[in-house]
Structure 1
């Protein structure tokens, strides 16, 4: 049973929710700095992470599973009107090869069949499309506290998530973790979170509360037994780990460009 969408929406209005949003958004925007003219889909509960892209992308849709319920996005009277839809997590109501960028958040942990969900995501993604999975990390504190949505369902290790992605014909190309601050209100102020994030990446990188992976849609010939024939593809931005690291306020513009290459 999925966490109710209203409960997730309330979480993102709390200090821990704002901390989660801000730390993940910094990584997404470092990874995908330019989405102009692209079609974007967020599945699970993605409005907090789609919002920065709404004006630049050609299309942004927040698709929420029926078992979770949905909330309107954007807020009434703002922007381009309703961009939320509700549907079956195992049968998306979209044609094939439609979306250039897909974000999965609050999605795999409580999915009835994660493998089937990922194959449906693969179906609606364009060739060379990019998928970003944001999931509760098995070794982090956030997966152990049920007062946040990340404490419900199954958390993942890097190897578990990588296996799921590969089996669904995605190729993981970048990894990162986020949320090193403990999931308590007093530890989630903006300055405190930034300090935890900076220290955590250097001193205990394996213990972030969230695990993030960028993967590319693999298009190839399927062999008997599930093996695939790899095909040549152009180089990807975000193919190195720094692409999923947050930008520092003191980082020079040239350094930012290196980190995103």
Structure 2
């Protein structure tokens, strides 16, 4: 089960959603290293954080999953968003320097193929940053947020999956150290709770934020995809 694009956008427009975007943004800045003339791709629903990093890039794109839907990004000017399949990105090899993947891997039918496709489009030594629900955290247990849907991961599972897909895991941090409450009175102390939680109970964070680097020196077996997908317009006649 997953939320569609309308539900995800509505969540991030809420008070809780704005606090989530701030907390994850703080986590990203702890491990984010600026790259000169960077080509950045947001895969999944990365809109709240693309605005944060886009001014320092050469170009930035927002690719949203076909199963969820897509909305325009940025809000002003020409759109740089597209509706895609995560296993077949419409990009040539080595086209992107960094991928920020949010609300994507946990909803993938085949996480390995999704990561292998990310490996294909990343430039040599390109970087992938994953934001995924933590299997041990509270947020994966409540379905009123996007982190309560899909497949949560533990740190060990994420590291093994990245290594299997020819990535070298790198810096890692946590975010969402407070419970997924909606009452404004409790959210007022969310920032303080986040700071305390990073020191005292990081194992129970809501999300894991992990960077990995594309590895080049290991050969990969070629495997046929299980299926090929095509887009069908929503208003096209059926049957």
Q: TM-score range by the shorter chain?
A: 0.7 to 0.9
What displacement does 1:140 show? 0.6
Q: Are the equivalent residues in 2 in contact too, given 1:97–1:124 (CA < 8 A)?
A: yes
Runs of 4+ residues over 6 Å off in structure 1 = 187-190
Residues 154-175 of structure 1, C-alpha deviation per residue, up to 9 Å, x if partnerless?
Answer: 1110011111111110110111
**Residues 1:61 and 2:61 are matched in the alignment:** yes
**Residues 1:146 and 2:146 are matched in the alignment:** no
What displacement does 1:63 show? 0.4
**What is residue 229 of structure 1 aligned with on the other side?**
none
Pick closer, same or farther for the CA change 1:153–1:188 going to 2, 3 Å: farther
Q: Which SS does the other structure have where 1:221 is aligned?
A: coil
Aligned counterpart for 2:99 among listed residues 102, 108, 121? 102
Pick closer, same or farther for the CA change 1:64–1:36 going to 2, 3 Å: same
What displacement does 1:33 show? 4.8
**What is residue 111 of structure 1 aligned with on the other side?**
108
Q: Are the equivalent residues in 1 in contact too, given 2:31–2:172 (CA < 8 A)?
A: no
CA distance in 2, matches of 1:146, 1:182: 13
CA distance in 2, matches of 1:188, 1:212: 27
Aligned counterpart for 1:126 among listed residues 123, 128, 143? 123
Q: Any gaps of 5 or more consecutive residues in structure 2? A: 222-239
TM-score (norm 2): 0.88
Q: Are the equivalent residues in 2 in contact too, given 1:35–1:53 (CA < 8 A)?
A: no
**What is residue 195 of structure 1 aligned with on the other side?**
192
Pick closer, same or farther for the CA change 1:89–1:202 going to 2, 3 Å: same
**What is residue 158 of structure 2 aligned with on the other side?**
161
1:1-261 correspondence runs (5 A): 2-75=2-75, 78=76, 80-186=77-183, 191-222=188-219
Aligned residues: 222
Q: Are the equivalent residues in 1 in contact too, given 2:27–2:209 (CA < 8 A)?
A: no
Q: Any gaps of 5 or more consecutive residues in structure 1? A: 225-261
What displacement does 1:132 show? 0.5
CA distance in 1, matches of 2:186, 2:80: 30
The farther-off stretch of 21-30 and 186-195 is 186-195
CA distance in 1, matches of 2:213, 2:53: 19
CA RMSD of superposed structures (Å): 1.9
Q: Are the equivalent residues in 2 in contact too, given 1:8–1:149 (CA < 8 A)?
A: yes
CA distance in 1, matches of 2:194, 2:101: 22
Q: Are the equivalent residues in 2 in contact too, given 1:19–1:188 (CA < 8 A)?
A: no
Pick closer, same or farther for the CA change 1:189–1:18 going to 2, 3 Å: farther
Q: Which SS does the other structure have where 1:109 is aligned?
A: helix
Q: Which SS does the other structure have where 1:54 is aligned?
A: helix
TM-score (norm 1): 0.80
CA distance in 2, matches of 1:5, 1:166: 31
Pick closer, same or farther for the CA change 1:5–1:17 going to 2, 3 Å: same
